[in-house]
Amino acid sequence: MNFDLIVIGSGPGGYKAALTAAHLGAKVALVEKALPGGTCLNQGCIPKKTLLHLATLIEDVNNLQDRGLVGRVRGDFNTAIAHKNAVVAGIRDNFSIWLRRLGVQVFAAEARLLGGQRVELRSCPNDATPARVLQAGRIILAAGSAPLQLATCPTDGERILNSRDFMMNLSQLPESVLCIGGGAVGVELGFLLHQFGSRVCIVEQHSRLLDRPRIPERASAMLERKFARIGIEVHKNASMADYAVAHDGIKVNLSDGFSGTFEKILVAVGRKPQIDGLGLREAGVAVNADGFVQVSEYLETSAAGIYAIGDLKPGPMTANAALHDAKIAAGNAINGNQMRANYHKVPVVIDSALEIAAVGLTEDLAEAAGFDADVAMSSLGGSGKARARHDFEGFIEVVHDAETGQLLGGCIVGPEAGEQIHMLAAACQSARGLWFLRDMSYSHPSWCEELEAAVDPYAAELGRSHKTIFTPGIFAGHR
């Protein structure tokens, strides 16, 4: 069978790539060997967000006692898991229907590259279709990733879990959990378990939680302070020394001298690309020393006409980045290589005891890039909406160049940060840049009006100066 484009993998990247190409008029095949929707739908973003919404509601309601609400609430973990499963199943059951409406043909099969733009499909258990070979002018690899193993604490799927085990198999709330890794997965699932009643300890080998370049240190510090206040124990600059499984739990020794016993261990130390069985070598697709598919700025691999997106290639291993990649690769595959990947344009969002979102450059990254970086800040303590909601722990920071006013990026910590960040991302891509946030007319009270409150004094000062002001945002005009 002949197609314009074959997409291998149906996670957010593969799904978006198929839709984008179909909207461009291409005849598209989408191949998935496991559950439709990939990691994001079945083990990641959707089930996590479903459970974290409930976890946050527990805190929100209990924080409003004596402010008009009466009666404390507590989590029912078993029922929450059942609700999560129903949400995921509802989306998954409609997955193929939504694709078919746009003419995308979906195959339940394992895919292997044969070279010459051919893909062999090997039947999956639920697919009655015999083995076949598909041909296409272009191919997009979107096979995703799997949790990394930790040599000092290998998972067993029962007591020592990874994120996939947690989302797919955990049905009973553990009395206590040690989270190894203080990145996004550790701080999100650790908070979730704490809210439902588990005793949680997080161990992180670096000097701070969320130790990544695009999350400013002040955001990590605020999250750490909240963890301490609500009772989540954190050990930084530490790692697993040794452990022993006993009848009463898992006895753990950390490198900083801490010892404790936990019912479960959650290993959250990163992910690795799933490249086995794809036939990359036979098709001439190069892989780097870390196992990631090598790509150009257009996301094309070393094999002409074959693209790789999402977790398969170097770069941020998030659903947001995969969605960004999907539009770039699909557009280039159908219309020729024109668009380049730029992950500074892609928001980073963390859902934990505080919601944290960032886009563009942090102050440190901006200085390293040669800008005269300055930060406009606004605390949620002065927000009318935050005060009305009694939810004012957080801040907004907007990074700009002090000489020109060029908008460079920023970070939002607090309620609905993941939604507010889109306003800041739009400003970074606007010809008005910093002034985009002043041009807006906001509803009051609202979260987003605090963006104007943050930048107003700086924009006013720049306006009064005799400097030549460069107004576009840093990504204005970038494709």
Cβ contact 349:355 at 8 Å: yes
Helices (H), 160-230: 163-169, 184-196, 217-230
Q: What is the 3-state secondary structure (H, E, C) of 52-80?
A: HHHHHHHHHHHHCECCCECCCCCCCHHHH
* Separation between Cα atoms, residue 86 and residue 432, nearest integer Å: 44
φ, ψ of residue 143 to 5 degrees: the values are -80, -10
**Cα–Cα–Cα angle for 304, 306, 308, rounded to 5 degrees:** 130
Is residue 473 classed as helix, strand or coil in its secondary structure? coil
* Separation between Cα atoms, residue 188 and residue 142, nearest integer Å: 25
Handedness of CA 417, 329, 20, 163 (dihedral sign): negative
Residues 6+ apart with CB under 8 A from 279: 112, 113, 114, 115, 120
344 a catalytic residue: no
* Separation between Cα atoms, residue 448 and residue 271, nearest integer Å: 34
Q: Which of 194, 444, 466, 478 is catalytic?
A: 444
Cβ contact 112:104 at 8 Å: no
* Separation between Cα atoms, residue 259 and residue 257, nearest integer Å: 6
Cβ contact 52:192 at 8 Å: yes
* Separation between Cα atoms, residue 258 and residue 280, nearest integer Å: 45
- Active-site residue numbers? 444
